[in-house]
């Protein structure tokens, strides 16, 4: 991909994207950490489940309050806040010496990454030129997948020592680099405009060669607009269609089972007949690698082929691979293991090129400036809420209706997701944020 931005701007966006890496790392690290903790603390099944899910609960609140911080404190300060919170909670986790301490640390770190899931794509979308916005927002998803892979690899590396404190503590390295880098980040021009700091906004636009005309027309509109919108205004006909898309994409990104696979990949491989722990962990690392590679490919395609084709192809692939996964478990017999690997590979690639990248891009670009932070917050709240539900129910569903039945349900949800996107989601490739806003208005009239 040839990004039409300066190296300086690229570094700024990369620093913001470290938030995605910390999100991915925290998502993935709990699997190996749990293995080590359960022998250190003799944890019950309930305690283990609670340790996994309490961070998701934290994320849920982080996303919703993050939108509020982003609109009130500004994009930059919200990034700083979540980075500091991440550092404090990593220290807390690393030094914890009771289950209660661990639970509190996980709640806090969940809250920090919940804010990251909102603020990172928002910051990038508002700093990026329209022509490369898709690829640049995808830096966030790429960072997420690298974070997940790192956590799998480090889990594997520490498997002999069982050092969970080191696993939690290593998150401090990227977080420290990010906090230092954040000192040099500018506020986004869009936020400055929303605070009537027009001269400063112009300064940033000129410095980073962003589309002055488009953003300046936003200034003009802002002067005419209502500055004191409330939460309930999100449900006005002006904003509602975009909100429906944000919430819908979030829901389908999670309800099609991605985190059942990320959190429980070793267990799924085990059910399909893989023997040793080493083989399970290695197969899981393999999925992590494929996820990173497929996301890198998607990054180069988003601004060329557009969001819609990738989403539709991705969902079709997810539907097909989930059906195959289900069929393998019903009728695979001695080929079950092979079919499981093959279908999980197709599934991860399809997720990565479709819902993985496009959800975050679309959520960061479809909302009008006046409500952007809060509308994103609400959409991402649904992402976390659905994630929570899937993580909590996956193992019970498997014992209730088997692997085949469970993946069949996810396949049906993928089909519904395809129809939703086909009917509702507009193409935003190459449009400025301002043009996207205009699109909603013409749609209404």
Residues near ligand BGC (CB under 6 A): 27, 141, 144-145, 148, 253, 258-259, 262, 291, 356, 387
43: phi > 0 → left, psi -120 to 50 → alpha, else beta; which? beta
Q: What is the distance between the alpha carbons of residues 261 and 355, in angstroms, rounded to a whole number? A: 15
- List C-alpha distances in Å: 268 to 154, 271, 283, 284, 370: 21, 5, 11, 10, 44
Q: Is the Cβ of residue 12 or residue 146 nearer to ligand BGC in the bound state?
A: 146
Distance in Å, CB of 33 to ligand BGC, minimum: 16
Under a CB-based contact definition with an 8 Å cutoff, are residues 79 and 12 in contact?
no
| CB neighbour list of residue 167: distance below 8 Å, 6 or more residues apart | 29, 32, 33, 36, 151, 154, 155, 158
Q: Which is nearer to ligand BGC, 291 or 321 (CB)?
A: 291
Provide the minimum distance between the beta carbon of 262 and ligand BGC in the complex, in angstroms, as a whole number.
5
Could you give the CA distance from residue 233 to residue 104 in angstroms, rounded to a whole number? 34
Smallest separation, CB 83 to ligand BGC (Å): 19
CB of 193 to ligand BGC, least distance (A): 29
* Whether 315 contacts 351, CB under 8 Å: no
Structure token pair of residue 237: 């006909």
Name the minimum Å distance from CB 145 to ligand BGC. Answer: 5
Closer CB to ligand BGC, 87 or 146, in the complex: 146
Nearer to ligand BGC, 204 or 294 (CB): 294
Q: How far is the CB of 247 from ligand BGC (least distance, A)?
A: 14
Q: For 136-166, give the DSSP string.
A: HHHHHHHHHHHHHHHHHHHHHHTTTTT-HHH
Contacts of 165 (CB under 8 A, 6+ apart): 94, 95
Q: Estimate the crossing angle of helix 133-157 against helix 99-127, to 10 degrees.
A: 150
Report, in Å, the least distance between residue 100 CB and ligand BGC. 27
Closest C-alpha among 5, 309, 20 to residue 132 = 5
Q: Which is nearer to ligand BGC, 114 or 356 (CB)?
A: 356
| Cβ closest to ligand BGC, residue 117 vs residue 432 | 117
Rounded to whole angstroms, the Cα distance separating 349 from 49 reads: 28
Q: Which is nearer to ligand BGC, 9 or 310 (CB)?
A: 310
Instruction: Indicate the residue among 27 and 194 with the shorter CB distance to ligand BGC.
Output: 27
**Separation between Cα atoms, residue 3 and residue 24, nearest integer Å:** 24
> Minimum Å distance from CB 258 to ligand BGC?
5
Can you list the pairs that 421-424 forms with residues at least 24 positions away whose Cβ atoms lie under 8 Å? 421/249, 421/252, 421/308, 421/311, 421/312, 421/315, 422/312, 424/241, 424/244, 424/245, 424/248
* Sequence-ordered strand ranges (E) for 231-272: none
Query: Judged by CB, which is closer to ligand BGC: 204, or 390?
Result: 390
What is the rounded CA–CA span in Å between residue 206 and residue 426? Answer: 30
**Minimum CB distance to ligand BGC smaller for 141 or for 343:** 141
Of 141 and 350, the one with the shorter C-beta distance to ligand BGC is 141
């Amino acid at each position: 991909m040839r990004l039409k931005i300066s190296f300086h701007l690229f570094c700024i966006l990369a620093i913001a994207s470290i938030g995605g890496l910390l999100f991915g790392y925290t998502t993935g690290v709990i699997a190996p950490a749990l293995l080590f903790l359960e022998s250190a603390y003799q944890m019950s099944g309930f305690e283990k489940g609670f340790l996994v899910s309490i961070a998701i609960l934290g994320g849920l609140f982080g996303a919703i309050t993050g939108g509020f911080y982003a609109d009130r404190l500004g994009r930059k300060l919200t990034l700083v806040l979540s980075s500091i919170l991440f550092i404090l909670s990593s220290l807390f986790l690393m030094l914890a010496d009771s289950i209660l301490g661990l639970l509190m640390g996980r709640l806090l770190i969940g809250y920090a990454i919940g804010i990251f899931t909102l603020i990172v794509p928002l910051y990038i979308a508002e700093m990026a030129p329209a022509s490369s916005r898709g690829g640049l927002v995808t830096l966030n998803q790429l960072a997420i997948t690298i974070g997940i892979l790192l956590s799998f690899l480090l889990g594997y590396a520490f498997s002999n020592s069982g050092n969970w404190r080191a696993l939690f503590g290593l998150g401090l390295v990227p977080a420290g680099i990010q906090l230092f880098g954040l000192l040099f980040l500018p506020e986004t021009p869009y936020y400055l405009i929303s605070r009537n700091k027009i001269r400063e906004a112009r300064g940033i636009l000129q410095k980073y060669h962003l589309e002055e005309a488009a953003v300046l027309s936003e200034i003009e509109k802002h002067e005419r607009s209502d500055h004191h919108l409330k939460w309930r205004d999100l449900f006005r006909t002006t904003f509602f269609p975009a909100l429906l898309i944000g919430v819908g994409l979030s829901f389908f990104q999670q309800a099609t089972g991605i985190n059942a696979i990320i959190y429980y990949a070793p267990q799924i491989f085990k059910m399909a007949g893989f023997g040793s722990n080493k083989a399970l962990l290695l197969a899981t690392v393999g999925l992590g690698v494929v996820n990173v590679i497929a996301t890198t490919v998607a990054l180069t395609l988003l601004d060329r082929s557009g969001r819609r084709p990738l989403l539709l192809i991705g969902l079709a692939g997810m539907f097909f691979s989930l059906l195959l996964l289900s069929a393998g478990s019903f009728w695979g017999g001695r080929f079950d293991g092979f079919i499981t690997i093959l279908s999980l590979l197709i599934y991860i690639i399809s997720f990565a090129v479709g819902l993985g990248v496009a959800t975050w891009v679309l959520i960061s670009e479809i909302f009008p400036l006046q409500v952007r932070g809060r509308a994103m917050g609400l959409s991402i709240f649904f992402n976390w809420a659905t994630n929570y539900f899937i993580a909590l129910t996956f193992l019970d569903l498997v014992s209730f209706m088997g692997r085949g039945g469970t993946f069949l349900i996810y396949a049906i949800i993928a089909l519904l997701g395809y129809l939703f996107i086909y009917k509702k989601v507009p193409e935003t490739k190459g449009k400025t944020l301002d043009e996207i806003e205009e699109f909603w208005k013409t749609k209404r009239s």
